[in-house]
């Protein structure tokens, strides 16, 4: 008989419903409970997840003998929700949607708790489970384009296209960075390792541009915007320039161009982009399967809290640089 993990999902917005739907069909998972403040959504959840108990407070998950909890609430609530899960002994293993927390200090504290209490942790940077990004990383590791010396990364959506600029604060641009740009940052850290922030320039309330320096002088430029025309669905992509050629990769395809004149293109369907159950995108199933199998096998999952901490750290450094950029000069 297959061992089943007892799992609960906290927060039934878009991502919560997506993960709950996937967990509900995994053969080694029992979706025991869902937690949601909205009474309307709780009533809806009972019609979809018949055997799952619906509660309106995280504390009410205590005593359900849970193996893992998924935290899919808004980013600013990740810290208190995860602290409650740990402090109340609700479950030893935690998956949380990106970003880990709303600041580096909060994320660092959560990492400390996770190290102290043990268990498997994971943060939902799903592009690590995308076939195009995995192919790109393999090509980099194989030195197909030689030594990379620069890259350009973007994260675009049209969510706030046409919205009025707000010149009074950086709240919106940093929000765009944490909500959307974090994916481009995570992919860059996954591909190239640690980076430091070189410069930041924010042009509108919903867009931010910054440059980073990686090991061996690798130069990276990032463009993040939630008001970009013709991006109905969010898109993340990178162009990587190396000594032997270039790689361009996004959610749907990968282009490889070598200096010897050869070129190759792979689309999702060329790379075996198949999963047992499709909901949202294939990478969501893969990341949930990876987390659940990691818990069952007692091994670390990636990206873990410690791995995702580096994204929060870089975001805070970008925020500090952006604030400095906006300060009037003393002339």
Q: Encode pLDDT of 121-179 as tens digits.
A: 999 999 999 999 999 999 999 999 999 999 999 999 998 887 765 533 334 445 889 99
Q: What is the pLDDT of residue 175?
A: 81
The answer on 176 and 198 residing in a single domain is yes
> Could you check whether the bond before residue 135 is cis, i.e. omega within 30 degrees of 0?
no
**In the predicted model, what is the mean pLDDT of the chain?**
93
Provide the number of structural domains found in the chain.
Answer: 2
d(Cα 228, Cα 210) in Å, to the nearest integer? 17
Residue 306 lies in a domain: no
Q: What is the pLDDT of residue 165?
A: 58
Q: What are phi and psi of 114, to 5 degrees?
A: -65, -40
Percent of the chain with pLDDT over 90: 87
Q: Which domain holds residue 162?
A: 131-269+312-326
Q: Encode pLDDT of 182-228 as tens digits.
A: 999 999 999 999 999 999 987 666 899 999 999 889 999 999 999 99
pTM for this entry: 0.93
Angle of helix 78-87 versus helix 104-117 axis, rounded to 10: 20
Q: What is the largest CA-CA distance in the chain?
A: 75
Residue 276 lies in a domain: no
Nearest residue to 219 via CA among 190, 250, 195: 195
The answer on 234 and 93 residing in a single domain is no
Q: Does the structure show a pLDDT above 60 at 326?
A: no
Q: What is the pLDDT of residue 57?
A: 98
Residue 305 lies in a domain: no
Q: What is the pLDDT of residue 160?
A: 87
CATH code: domain of residue 114: 3.40.50.720
- Cα dist from 186 to 126, 194, 314, whole Å: 10, 10, 10
Least confident stretch, 205-209, 227-231, 240-244: 205-209
The answer on 119 and 25 residing in a single domain is yes
């Amino acid at each position: 008989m297959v061992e089943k993990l007892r799992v609960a999902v906290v927060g039934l917005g878009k991502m919560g419903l997506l993960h709950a739907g996937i967990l509900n069909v995994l053969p080694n998972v029992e979706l025991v409970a869902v937690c949601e403040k909205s009474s309307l959504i709780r009533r809806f959840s009972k019609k979809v997840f018949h055997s799952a108990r619906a509660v309106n407070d995280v504390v009410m998950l205590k005593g359900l003998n849970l193996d893992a909890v998924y935290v899919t609430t808004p980013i600013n609530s990740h810290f208190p929700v995860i602290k409650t899960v740990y402090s109340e002994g609700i479950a030893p293993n935690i998956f949380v949607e990106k970003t880990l927390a709303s600041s580096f200090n909060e994320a660092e504290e959560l990492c400390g708790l996770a190290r102290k209490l043990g268990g498997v942790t994971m943060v939902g940077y799903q592009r690590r489970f995308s076939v195009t990004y995995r192919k790109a990383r393999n090509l980099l590791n194989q030195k197909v384009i030689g030594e990379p010396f620069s890259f350009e990364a973007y994260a675009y959506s049209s969510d706030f296209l046409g919205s009025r600029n707000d010149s009074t604060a950086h709240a919106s641009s940093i929000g765009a960075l944490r909500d959307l740009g974090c994916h481009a940052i995570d992919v860059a850290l996954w591909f190239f390792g640690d980076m430091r922030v070189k410069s930041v320039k924010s042009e509108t309330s919903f867009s931010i541009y910054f440059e980073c320096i990686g090991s061996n002088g690798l130069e990276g430029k990032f463009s993040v915007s939630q008001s970009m025309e013709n991006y109905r669905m969010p898109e993340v992509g990178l162009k990587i320039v190396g000594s032997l050629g270039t790689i361009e990769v996004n959610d749907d395809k990968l282009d490889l161009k070598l200096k010897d004149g050869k070129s190759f293109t792979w689309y999702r369907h060329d790379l075996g982009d198949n999963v047992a159950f499709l909901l949202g995108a294939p990478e969501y199933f893969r990341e949930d399967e990876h987390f659940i199998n990691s818990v069952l096998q007692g091994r670390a999952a990636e990206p873990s809290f410690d791995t995702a901490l580096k994204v929060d750290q870089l975001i805070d450094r970008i925020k500090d640089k952006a604030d400095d950029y906006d300060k009037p000069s003393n002339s």
